[in-house]
Amino acid sequence: MDDVLELERRVAELNKILHEYGHAYYDLDAPIVPDSEYDAKMQELLAIEEEHPDLIYPDSPTQRVGGTPLEVFSKVVHRYPMLSLANAFNEADLRDFDRRVQEAAGSVVYVCELKIDGLAVSLQYENGQLVQGSTRGDGAVGEDITANLRTIRSVPLRLQQPLTIEVRGEAYMPKRSFAKLNEDRDEAGEVPFANPRNAAAGSLRQLDPKIAASRNLATFIYAVGGDAEAYNLDSHSDALDKLDQLGLTTNEERKRCATIDEVLDYVAYWTEHRQALDYEIDGIVIKVDNFEAQEQLGYTAKSPRWAIAYKFPAEEVRTKLIDIELSV
Ligand code: NAD
């Protein structure tokens, strides 16, 4: 009995703490703890909830995506929800993911991509013209930040083809822009931003588009929002090629992998080489390539079952990438 009460108390405590951390991170763009601490508490809560589904609060942070859209922006209702991704932290988690995928969909090809550390955005084009840009918000409703997204050079105002299409990707601040911004803020006696992710989110969630324009932001687009098959696309790699043809900027470092061992090699490579990139990444996203297989796998309330985000270990504990490094 005491154990049950103790567990209930811990669950309530984790819910409360994670809501506080999430509010600071998603709503205020000013995290109060490192991501690793947030992730550890989230994993603890997920583990308890898995053993005791009766302890899942309806508003548990494990069931919710992102934060609350800011009132100062008009709201954008996403036609298809903008979800989160389940996380993996080591080789065993990735092998588990592969096993679950194969059980549900047979053998598949994966696409590995860099997990860009920025914020998710959606761009709506009508007859090839950019008409709206929004944040993910709580997954169902985002903020209308069209004016700010229009200032980003890698966001085309007009596509190469007159298509009506929603695309999704990550807006981010390159390391160089971030260093310059903090130098300027330092000189002006302003508080520097904690990291490029918060600087990017803070820049895009401003009412004055001149601020976003001055911050040298960039985007990588990584998906067609909604029904990609409507554009005769059979797979995620097809979709990425299509996005390239439309004049959108995709990330070139993606790789198709036929086995989980190839995925692990890709993870190990980027764990070693990520510092050389001009932008920050916080992990690797692994996606099932074929859309039919994706459909077979489906979704949880919060994330697709056909994808997973491997998160790099926190910098301070990054001695060796555990057993993954041994597999290269
Ligand atoms: P997530 O960051 O784990 O994964 C989902 C997001 O990945 C997508 O929404 C998209 O924006 C992004 N992404 C980047 N590259 C991508 C690609 N190539 N393909 C697809 N998606 C890509 O999930 P989340 O819900 O956005 O955020 C949770 C994470 O945020 C936590 O794991 C934690 O690290 C961090 N966080 C930190 C705090 C804190 O207090 N420090 C609080 C809340 C969340």
Going by alpha carbons, the residue nearest to atom 22 of ligand 1 is 115
Residue in 85, 94, 73, 93 with CA at minimum distance from that of residue 116: 85
Q: Where is 184: in which H helix or E strand?
A: helix 175-187
Q: Ligand 1 mean position to 84 CA, how many Å?
A: 7
Mutate to test the pocket of ligand 1, among 14, 18, 38 (most ligand atoms within 8 A of CB): 38
pLDDT at 226: 81
pLDDT at 1: 53
280 lines ligand 1 (CB under 6 A): no
- Residue positions counted in the chain: 328
Each residue's pLDDT tens digit, 79-135? 999 999 999 999 999 999 999 999 999 999 999 999 999 999 999 999 999 999 999
DSSP output for 50-112: HH-GGG--TT-TTS--S-PPPTTSPEEE-SS------EE-SHHHHHHHHHHHHHHH-S--EEE
What average pLDDT does the segment 169-184 reach?
96
SS3 264: helix
177 lines ligand 1 (CB under 6 A): no
∠101-97-61 over CA atoms, to 5°?
A: 115
285 lines ligand 1 (CB under 6 A): yes
What average pLDDT does the segment 139-157 reach?
97
Each residue's pLDDT tens digit, 267-301? 999 999 999 999 999 999 999 999 999 999 999 98
143 lines ligand 1 (CB under 6 A): no
Is residue 54 very low, low, confident or very high in pLDDT (cuts 50, 70, 90)?
very high
Enter the DSSP assignment of 31.
Answer: -
pLDDT at 229: 74
Show me where the domains of the chain are located.
2-55, 75-327
Residue in 221, 270, 219 with CA at minimum distance from that of residue 241: 221
State yes or no: pLDDT of 150 exceeds 80: yes
Q: What is the CATH number of domain 75-327?
A: 3.30.470.30
CATH number for domain 2-55, candidates 3.30.70.270, 1.10.3720.10, 3.30.300.30, 1.10.287.610 = 1.10.287.610
Q: Ligand 1 mean position to 276 CA, how many Å?
A: 21
Do 74 and 145 contact (CB within 8 A), yes or no?
A: no
Each residue's pLDDT tens digit, 200-234? 999 999 999 999 999 999 999 999 998 777 889 99
Amino acid identity of 46? L
Each residue's pLDDT tens digit, 14-33? 999 999 999 999 998 889 99
The pLDDT mean for the chain works out to 93
31 lines ligand 1 (CB under 6 A): yes
Mutate to test the pocket of ligand 1, among 32, 82, 85 (most ligand atoms within 8 A of CB): 85
Enter the DSSP assignment of 325.
Answer: G
State yes or no: pLDDT of 316 exceeds 60: no
